[in-house]
Chain A
Amino acid sequence: MLDKVTKQKLVVIGNGMAGIRTVEALLERAPDLYDITVFGSEPYGNYNRILLSPVLAGEKTVDDIMLNTVDWYEDNNITLRKGETISMIDRRTCEVVTDAGDRVPYDRLLIATGSNPIMLPLPGKDLPGVIGFRDIYDVDRMIKASTDYRNAVVIGGGLLGLEAANGLMKRGMNVTVVHLLDTLMERQLDPVAGGLLRKSLEERGMVFKMPAQTQAILGEERVTGVRFGDGTELPADLVVMAVGIRPNFELAKKAGLYCERGVVVSDTMQTYDGRIYAVGECVQHRRQVYGLVAPLFEQAKVCANHLAMKGFATYDGSVTSTKLKVTGIDLFSAGDFAPGPDKEEIVLQDANRGVYKRIILKDKKIVGAVLYGDTIDGPWYFQHLRDGTDVSHMRERLVFGAANLGEGGVSGQNSVAAMSDETEICGCNGVCKGAIVKAISEKKLFTLDDVRAHTKASSSCGSCTGLVEQVLAFTLGGDYSAAPKVKPLCKCTDHSHDDVRRVIVEQQLKTIPDVMRFMEWKTLNGCHSCRPALNYYLLATWPGEYRDDQQSRFINERVHANIQKDGTYSVVPRMWGGVTTPSELRAIADVAEKFNIPTVKVTGGQRIDLLGVRKEDLPAVWADLNDAGMVSGHAYAKGLRTVKTCVGSEWCRFGTQDSTGLGVKLEKFMWGSWTPAKVKLGVSGCPRNCAEATCKDVGVVCVDSGYEIHFAGAAGLHIKGTEFLTKVETEDETLEVIVALTQLYREEGWYLERMYKWCDRVGLEQISKRVVDDVANRKALFSRFAHSQQFAQTDPWAERASRGVDRNEFAPLAELELA
């Protein structure tokens, strides 16, 4: 550990969310690198500025919104100089100067001075009773005024103004909102949504004067009224100016740092002086100034990474979304919604239900969304907006939201705000709304990952992710940090799945340690998320060459059976195409009796499952099944699972083709292959579709003239019908197309990404082009799959039952009889 003398000095100007979030991120990455001093003008620790509105409305207290108490600074050896203002940065001597004249040296300086409310230059603006809305001091003054006075005027009908007005109204004041334009929140809302918002605020007792220009603030000793451009006047004991904020960069400008509308920073959050960094509302990055909190989480991370000398990360700008923090009003807005010639709009308007949705598309992608009354899908639209997803295939149902596309969570709920605290959000882990809200407020959580770690909500199947994000937005007021667009593979690295796959090929990396070394993994040996992913990527990239790392496989794939809640296993023998024989059934019955297997169950994939097998019995169970001619059914694998079939033309009076035979053929060709996530096939002999082929990863529907090939269906977490890929005339062509499709998925899918998610991400058109249209490419894909199958098609059960593979795995190391 470095002592204070040799440590570099980091000085932070600004004790707000941006500065402290950066310090927190820095401490995570390099706890001992700097001797840190923080200057803050306000006499508090760091608090959550987003939540000032609920404090004003009396829904939260100041203590509720504290993020870092004074103890936190002490515990982390940070010198906090609160109530002290920096008046100058001396770049020549690398010192900052306080208003008391104290000089403090720095090696690195972080400017996080935030922004100031804009005070209109009106006559009377300095009268007592005229205030901005920016910090705890302002809120205190407003609360005090609400007990002593009756009439308030809020200038500004934007987000901040409406929240201030709502809070003052809740405190019992008569509130008039004055707005220059005829639409409320015109930067976030279109006129229709603005009108709906105005109507519901009026119903609550808020009064509006708009469009109206304020001309003067009246009064002698204290404010008494406001005069407008049309000559009318309104009495007022309190005037809140909430017309906007202005980045606070005076200090930086005086120090000669290049500033435009804010302190100009690079992608590493550095100013033109490389020793000086800046984050938060005071910065201008790629011509953009942000007045919201969300972008600072990404900025803080990048800045901390650079300060910690870990290099690599860059900030690429943020797309922001907004939510109004007025209890009982659901409103969501994101992106760009100004009309334009190249934009298309989808609008749903239901006046009686008070619902309005407008989705703006450009080049098949969502570029903006305005939701009023029913905002449950806000985060879902926002995610597609950030990811730039091609939404053309779901266009006709898009406006009805995720639930209508089979991606929803709790059914029948269209607003998190309306849910009771007992409503279960995460069905996997039994987490209700109240528990999530409590964790977010008590543990000061800001990101989806935080919520997952602390509550387990959305950490299993993930289908409630949208809901959890909605609860985050609802609790924090929209300014939560949405998941970044390019997701790192796991917490051990900043690289994405695509990066890792590409680098493995480019650099010819052939072992997990090689990948981790080359890509500078942050952890020794990775974790339970990245190791199985890397193992799969290497296996799929270098068939026959890469040696499968058993210790990087999840237990099911290591012991070729499925672990159960009590630590026993289940065993599923393969039944090709779902067809079995009396002797196989007899052998299964004998095994079940011989090993006292408690449950025998038929599965959804037309197989028989033996549940409750003790681990040490597995090799013997397999030996008996092998003797009867059966092999592993891979019911545990991220690989080809089952091909479900109907009886087809061999028996069925409606059957058009031999669906059973085709299913068996497909399964015999493809069994044993490893894939990013499980793959299930179905083959139906006619459009009646008894094998339910159109909700499988790949499905074939036989018709009289040939074979329709479908893919990217799902009937689990999400319900999704397949997409039609192509129609062919022969069984051989069917096999070729399906194998090529699977190989493309093997080469491009992210680990644990099901085929339908891959298709959503890459696009149906892209896949179809390479598998159907480009015949040469299809044949190349087919032969790569066939090559890889030479090394994959060994029955793992037989290896272990009779050839002694992994013998140690199934026997105890020792048996002790303790005295």
Chain B
Amino acid sequence: MTSWIEIGALDDIPRLGSRVVRTPGGNIAVFRTESDEVFALDDRCPHKGGPLSQGIVHNKRVTCPLHNFVIELASGQAVAPDEGCTHTHPAKVENGIVWLSVRQAAAVS
């Protein structure tokens, strides 16, 4: 069962930007696209662990600030030909509030 946690207002995340949610299992990056969709991923690039939350967001992708790996926000997959995957977490917006469901296994790993 998905248990949703309220994490803040959508307006507190910049469009084409990201904010970090701290958890005991590590940081989770919450992204906001131009059309106000939100996505949540572990804040670690599959390449060398770079903080994805600090990257440039374009369409539904983010570019890692360390070595320009491009990660799909929806799936966490690196865009080909790069390989690797970052754990994703369900996220949604309701009435301007962002909700997150932390997938424990992923967050703890």
Q: Which A residues are within 8 Å of any B CB, using their own CB?
A: 443, 453-454, 459-460, 523-528, 531-532, 550-552, 554-555, 559, 563, 565, 567, 808, 812-818
Contacts and interface: CB of A to CB of B under 8 A. Distances in A.
A528 B68 contact: yes
B23 interface: yes
Interface in B15-59: 15-17, 19-25, 27, 30, 34, 48-51, 54-59
Given A527-B63, A814-B7, A808 B14 contact: yes
Task: Enumerate the 10 nearest inter-chain pairs by beta-carbon distance, A residue then B residue, closest first.
Answer: A813-B19, A528-B63, A814-B7, A525-B58, A555-B54, A815-B22, A551-B16, A528-B56, A567-B51, A524-B59
Nearest to B24: A818
B21 A813 contact: yes
Contacts of B68: 459, 528
Nearest to A454: B81
Contact of A818 (B15, B23, B57): B23
Nearest to B7: A814
B48 A565 contact: yes
B25 A818 contact: yes
Contact of B57 (A454, A551, A563, A813): A551
B58 A528 contact: yes
B90 interface: no
B2 interface: no
A813 B51 CA distance: 15
A636 to B, nearest CB: 12
Given A525-B16, A527-B63, A567-B49, 4 more contacts: A528-B55, A551-B57, A552-B56, A563-B65
B102 interface: yes
B14 A563 contact: no
Contacts of B20: 812-813
B17 A551 contact: yes
Contacts, number: 96
7 contacts: A524-B34, A524-B59, A528-B56, A528-B63, A563-B65, A567-B54, A812-B19
Nearest to B102: A818
A199 B70 CA distance: 52
Contacts of A812: 19-22, 27
A649 to B, nearest CB: 44
B13 interface: yes
Given A567-B51, A813-B7, A818-B25, A808 B59 contact: no
B8 to A, nearest CB: 5
Given A555-B55, A815-B22, A816-B21, A550 B34 contact: no
Contacts of B51: 563, 567
Contact of B58 (A527, A813, A817): A527
Contacts of B100: 816
A496 to B, nearest CB: 20
Interface in B68-93: 68, 70, 81
A28 to B, nearest CB: 13
A551 B59 CA distance: 12
Contact of A814 (B21, B48, B54): B21
B58 A526 contact: yes
Contacts of A817: 24
A312 to B, nearest CB: 22
Contacts of A528: 55-56, 58, 63, 68, 70
Contacts of B102: 816, 818
Most B CB within 10 A of own CB, among A454, A459, A528, A555: A528
A525 B7 contact: no
A766 to B, nearest CB: 33
A813 B30 contact: yes
A554 B34 CA distance: 18
A565 B66 contact: yes
Given A524-B59, A808-B14, A818 B107 contact: yes
B12 A554 contact: no
Contacts of A818: 23-25, 102, 104, 107
Nearest to B68: A528
Nearest to B25: A818
B82 to A, nearest CB: 8
Contacts of A816: 5, 7, 21-24, 100, 102
Nearest to A455: B81
A570 B22 CA distance: 22
A813 B13 CA distance: 8
Nearest to A549: B16
A762 to B, nearest CB: 28
A818 B102 CA distance: 9
Given A814-B8, A816-B7, A567 B22 contact: no
Contact of A551 (B5, B8, B56, B70): B56
A550 B17 CA distance: 9
A501 B88 CA distance: 39
Contacts of A551: 14-17, 56-57
A555 B65 contact: yes
A99 B89 CA distance: 59
Nearest to A492: B58
A563 B66 contact: yes
B67 to A, nearest CB: 8
A531 B56 contact: yes
B21 A815 contact: yes
B32 to A, nearest CB: 10
A28 B24 CA distance: 43
B60 to A, nearest CB: 9
A137 B16 CA distance: 56
Contacts of B23: 815-816, 818
Nearest to B17: A551
A523 B16 CA distance: 14
Contacts of B25: 818
Contacts of A526: 58
B21 A808 contact: no
Nearest to B65: A555
A818 B55 CA distance: 26
Nearest to A563: B65
A492 to B, nearest CB: 9
Contacts of B12: 808, 813
A818 B19 CA distance: 18
A525 B59 contact: yes
Contacts of A567: 49-51, 54
Nearest to B13: A813
B81 A554 contact: no
A559 to B, nearest CB: 8
Contacts of B50: 567
Contacts of B19: 808, 812-813
B107 to A, nearest CB: 7
A817 B102 CA distance: 11
A808 B65 CA distance: 19
A526 B70 CA distance: 13
A614 B107 CA distance: 21
Nearest to B29: A813
A453 B81 contact: yes
Contacts of A532: 56
A563 B65 CA distance: 8
B103 to A, nearest CB: 11
A812 B20 CA distance: 5
B21 A525 contact: no
Nearest to B62: A528
A558 to B, nearest CB: 8
Nearest to A532: B56
Contacts of A525: 16, 34, 57-59
Contact of A550 (B5, B7, B14): B14
B11 to A, nearest CB: 10
A43 to B, nearest CB: 31
Nearest to A452: B81
